[in-house]
Structure 1
Amino acid sequence: MTDLFWPGDHLAGDLMSDGAFLEAMVAVEQAWLDALVRAGIAPPEARADLSGVLADGDLGAVARRSDVDGNPVSALVALLRERSDAATARWLHRGLTSQDVLDTALIVCARDALEKIADEGAEQVRTLTDLAEKHRATPTLARTLTQAALPTTLGARIAHWLDGVLDAAEPLAGLRSSLPVQAGGAAGTLAAATELAGSVDGAVALSDALAEHLHLAPALPWHTTRSAITRIGDAMVTCCDAWGHIASDVATASRPEIGEMCEGRGGGSSTMPHKNNPVRSVLIRRAAVTAGPLAATLHAASAASVDERSDGAWHAEWATLRTLTRHTVVAAVHTTELVSGLQIDEDRAAANLDAAPGLLSEQRDMTELTGRAALPEYSGAVDRLVGATLSRARRFVKESS
């Protein structure tokens, strides 16, 4: 995919694209049909390979026909039935409802994207761990509210970035393993599946089989309980928050008047050839600025859930989650590129620290208050703090490898 409105969108590849979503919906229909046959509910002759049924141009046709019923599943099922033999067409989609197929396909697409995000996060942890260790004792100026504050180290600043990335990366494994299947039927009661299977246990077994085939977690129907979607959105926002912090620090430090950091590969200007713009930082900050509002839309939709299928709130999730997901994947790749190519000017950091006025005022106050001679370096517990973050990062790398 390409998107002129979102430079870098191609980095997300086919993840959460229209094509991926259509394939995921077909995969759900395939898994359910297979489950019906394996359970002895549908006859063996109903078995079919649905993956080759669709042809070029079908995506556009399904998209146009979905305007009739308000979702793409009805159009897809109609197309699959038209191109299947009588036995397959009779059993295709039986016991499911449109929301089952659409929700499960969304989860499948989101899972694939979360795997990419997790891989990028793990790489960022490794890179930042090395950077924090390398610059553990490199002196630099701490700034608060944009102004010179006290001495610190570049290792401490990078450790703060690393803590944020770890806060985002650590929960992803648990989230990915708990993404739920959806198979509630027309009103979320498993009524049709119970009739097909002949018992409640049989209906639940069909739902579980669908989950197993798609490598999702078994789950009871959650048609209007949307925490599965909001948890995905929140995880992505937490990632973008962490990456936005890194990007903001790098963009600030790359200003010529500061000059302590710069991107390994900056961008140019159409009219000012002398510029070396921090483009990766800019594009990461763009994602961080927009991620929160997109997740807020998911929460607003969740809060507007009503009855056994929501009228509009559910529909608002699909494109919102797609946009948030693709933006997050792109930001993940950009952040990996940023930290991997980051250039640090230790001499400039030291010079800025030396030139900052009034840095010893708090140190003098502490000496007067305690009556003890001041320590040579007024850096407090910085080394201990950096060490704690490095230990946490190494545990993460060990556990995720």
Structure 2
Amino acid sequence: MSDLLRPGAHRAAGIADDPAVLAAILRVEVAWARALVAAGIATDAEASKVAEAAAGLDVDLPALAVAAEAAGNPVVPLVELLRTAAGDASGAVHRGLTSQDVVDTALVLLARAAVARVRADLVATGDALASLARTHRDDVAVARTLTQWAVPTTFGLRAAQWLAGVGDAVGALDGLTFPLQYGGAAGTRALLGHLAGPGGAAAAGALAQTLGLTGPDLPWHTRRGTLTAIGDALTTTTDALGVVAADVLLLGRPEVGEVREGAVAGRGGSSTMPHKQNPVLSVLVHAAAQQAPGLAAQLHLSASGAVDERPDGAWHAEWPVLARLLELAVTAASQAAELVAGLQVDTSAMAARVDAATATAALDARGGTGEAGRLVDIAITRWEETRG
């Protein structure tokens, strides 16, 4: 996919691109070779040779991508390369696994790293929003409902509501689990059971421990809740950030002028109108929020089509969708953290608009906002409990 059509994609470099996927797959294969030692199927020397072979493997990624078509996934040709490189330790490569075990576990590793990145940026965003809410706790502004002026509110409460959304997103991310996938060819773990008997369970436990993943009681080849939950949590994230961006876009219009993005040299210019300073970060975060729900929906659609013991196409359809969603969420979270940190608030413009609204609607410009301060305090307290 072209980075030229994904402004800001460099912020997610290494999250789910081909080098990252390759590294995750090799990490799983190396960890599995070591796990076979725990099951008594491989020796320490063999596992070490597999690790050395993986570390020194020179993979032509475009060629591997072409070779992946013949098997329907990249694991098969990569395992062939790794077995060749491992020499007399080749028997410790991939033994007892299936391609889906490796791809799913690799995707979980990538997702866990991406979620950690997103959470860190959400915490930075939330802290900045909490500061805005405190600073502008009592600064009166016009509330808008159904696009029209309503009763007065405060900018502090508006920022507190943004903060609550970010807190909900952090909570969704914190509720995720990252399980190992291990079922073998048809979800029965038959080969390892045949080779190691009851000791085969030790291999799964060792693999989970090495990778820092949860060891599931059952394979989840056709139960895709792990990935749909990740997709849903990331979409909750982009939803929350999208609201912030959409409000900033509205409030930053010249005819409103209540907020504006911080100026950064070289950012926001127009190709034909040099006088313009476009709110680029808000635009891009808003764009991410428009894309994420469709990607999450595709994960659910794929989950519903995961038939038999191993899916025929529904599983394959998940890979690019999840990769894109990971990159999108990481990018948007990074952009949102920068956006909120640099957000400039014009309380004078807000006050003037409150006066205009009061004259138009005969409202009490200063009345009715006393409860807003208490709501700001509640939101900040909730945030402090959530962020940890």
Same fold judged by TM-score > 0.5?
yes
Q: What is the match of residue 181 of structure 1?
A: 180
Q: Deviations over 1:29-73 (max 9, x none)?
A: 101101112332213442222432321x52222211110010001
Q: What is the match of residue 375 of structure 2?
A: 385
Among 68, 75, 88, the residue aligned to 2:70: 68
Identity value in percent: 47
Q: How does 1:163-174 map to 2 (within 5 A)?
A: 163-174=164-175
Indicate the structure whose relative CO is greater, using CA pairs within 8 Å and at least 6 residues apart: 2
Q: Deviations over 1:268-313 (max 9, x none)?
A: 1011111111110000010000000011000000011100111110
- In the alignment, structure 2 segments of 5+ residues that lack a partner are none
Pair 1:141-2:142 in alignment: yes
Q: What letter matches 2:41 in structure 1?
A: I
Cα 1:350–1:82 change in 2 (3 A) is same
Q: What is the match of residue 242 of structure 1?
A: 240
Pair 1:28-2:31 in alignment: no
Cα distance in 2 between the residues matched to 1:39 and 1:206: 5
Helix, strand or coil for the counterpart of 2:150?
Answer: strand
Cα 1:187–1:271 change in 2 (3 A) is same
Helix, strand or coil for the counterpart of 1:4?
Answer: helix
Answer whether contact 1:287 1:331 (CA < 8 A) is retained. yes
Cα distance in 2 between the residues matched to 1:350 and 1:259: 12
Q: What is the match of residue 52 of structure 1?
A: 55
Q: How does 1:2-401 map to 2 (within 5 A)?
A: 3-47=3-47, 48=49, 49=51, 50-55=53-58, 57-86=59-88, 88-175=89-176, 178-199=177-198, 202-219=199-216, 220-265=218-263, 267-356=268-357, 357-360=359-362, 377-379=367-369, 381-397=371-387, 399=388
Helix, strand or coil for the counterpart of 2:163?
Answer: helix
Cα distance in 1 between the residues matched to 2:200 and 2:29: 16
Helix, strand or coil for the counterpart of 2:97?
Answer: coil
Q: What letter matches 2:138 in structure 1?
A: A
CA shift, 1:192, in A, is 1.2
Answer whether contact 1:237 1:292 (CA < 8 A) is retained. yes
Q: Deviations over 1:115-138 (max 9, x none)?
A: 100100111111111110000000
Answer whether contact 1:151 1:359 (CA < 8 A) is retained. no
Helix, strand or coil for the counterpart of 2:367?
Answer: coil
Cα distance in 2 between the residues matched to 1:170 and 1:28: 28
Answer whether contact 2:98 2:184 (CA < 8 A) is retained. yes
Q: What letter matches 1:324 in structure 2?
A: L
Following TM superposition, the consecutive aligned residue runs of length 4 or more in structure 1 with deviations greater than 4 angstroms are none
CA shift, 1:209, in A, is 1.1
Cα distance in 1 between the residues matched to 2:122 and 2:2: 23
CA shift, 1:83, in A, is 1.5
Answer whether contact 2:133 2:159 (CA < 8 A) is retained. yes
Answer whether contact 2:54 2:82 (CA < 8 A) is retained. no
Cα 1:44–1:156 change in 2 (3 A) is closer
Q: What letter matches 1:232 in structure 2?
A: I
Helix, strand or coil for the counterpart of 2:193?
Answer: helix
Cα distance in 1 between the residues matched to 2:39 and 2:301: 39
Cα distance in 1 between the residues matched to 2:152 and 2:248: 18
CA shift, 1:377, in A, is 1.6
Q: What letter matches 2:73 in structure 1?
A: N
Q: What letter matches 1:250 in structure 2?
A: V
CA shift, 1:358, in A, is 4.2
Q: Which shifted more, 224-233 or 12-21? A: 12-21
CA shift, 1:196, in A, is 2.0
CA shift, 1:340, in A, is 0.2
